[in-house]
Amino acid sequence: VGCGICVKKCPFEAIDIVNLPEELEYPTHRYGPNTFVLYGLPIPVEGKVTGILGPNGIGKSTSLQILSGQIRPNLGIFEETVAWDEILKRFAGTELFDYLKHISGKEIKVAVKPQYVTYIPKAFSGTVRELLASTDERGALDHLVEDLTLGSILDREIKNLSGGELQRVAIAACLAREADFYFLDEITPYLDIYQRMAAANLIREVAGNRPVVIVEHDLAILDMLADTVHVAYGKPAVFGVITGPKGVRVGINEYLEGYLPEENVRFRDSAVVFEKRAHAEETIREDLFSFPEMTKSYDRFTLTVKGGEVKKGEVLGLVGPNGIGKSTFAKLLAGVEEPDGGPVEGKVTISYKPQYVKADSADTVEFMLRQITRRFDTSFYQHEVIEPLGLKQILQSPVNTLSGGELQRVAIAACLSRDADLYILDEPSAHLDVEQRMGLTKVLKHHAEGKECGVIVIDHDIYLIDMISERLVVFDGKPGVAGEAKGPFSMRDGMNLFLSELGVTFRRDKTGRPRINKPGSYLDREQRSHGEYYYAL
Residues that bind ligand ADP (CB under 6 A): 31, 35-36, 56-62, 237, 298-299, 301, 322-328, 480
Concatenated DSSP letters for 410-442? HHHHHHHHS--SEEEEESTTTT--HHHHHHHHH
- Asked if residues 64 and 49 have their Cβ atoms less than 8 Å apart, the reply is no
Q: What is the closest distance, in whole angstroms, from the C-beta atom of residue 7 to ligand ADP in the complex?
A: 28
Q: What is the nearest approach in angstroms of ligand ADP to the Cβ of residue 230?
A: 12
DSSP string, 147-162: HTT-GGGTTSBGGG--
Residue 424: CB minimum distance to ligand ADP, A: 11
327 vs 429 by CB, closer to Mg ion: 327
Helices (H), 193-233: 193-206, 219-225
Tell me how far, at minimum, the Cβ of 109 lies from ligand ADP, in Å: 20
Nearest C-alpha neighbor of 311 from the set 337, 338, 283: 283
Using the 8-state DSSP alphabet, how is residue 18 labeled? S
Q: Which does 512 bind (CB under 5 to 8 A by kind): Mg ion, ligand ADP, none?
A: none
In this chain, which of 118, 327, 436, 517 binds Mg ion, going by CB under 5 A? 327
C-beta closer to ligand ADP: residue 32 or 139 = 32
Candidates 360, 463, 471, 370; CA nearest to 414 is 370
Residue 60 partner contact from Mg ion, ligand ADP, none using kind-dependent CB cut-offs of 5 to 8 Å:
ligand ADP
Minimum CB–partner distance for residue 322 and Mg ion (Å): 7
Alpha-carbon dihedral angle through residues 408, 411, 417, 423, given to the nearest 10 degrees: -90
The helix (run of H) or strand (run of E) holding residue 444 is helix 434-451
Which partner in Mg ion, ligand ADP, none is near 35 (CB below 5 to 8 A by kind)? ligand ADP
Decide whether 82 or 278 has the Cβ nearer to ligand ADP.
82
Binding site partner of 505, from ligand ADP, Mg ion, none, Cβ cut-off 5-8 A by kind = none
Least CB distance from residue 283 to ligand ADP, whole Å?
Answer: 28
State the DSSP string of 103-135. Answer: HTTS---EEEE-S-GGGHHHH--SBHHHHHHTT
| Piece in contact with Mg ion (CB under 5 A), picked from 4-12, 327-335, 430-438, 479-487 | 327-335
Q: What torsion, rounded to 10 degrees, do the Cα atoms 64, 68, 70, 74 define? A: 70
Residue whose C-alpha is closest to residue 293's, from 484, 102, 470:
484
Nearer to Mg ion, 175 or 424 (CB): 424
Nearer to Mg ion, 55 or 483 (CB): 483
Least Å distance, CB 168 to ligand ADP, is 14
Positions that interact with Mg ion (CB under 5 A): 327
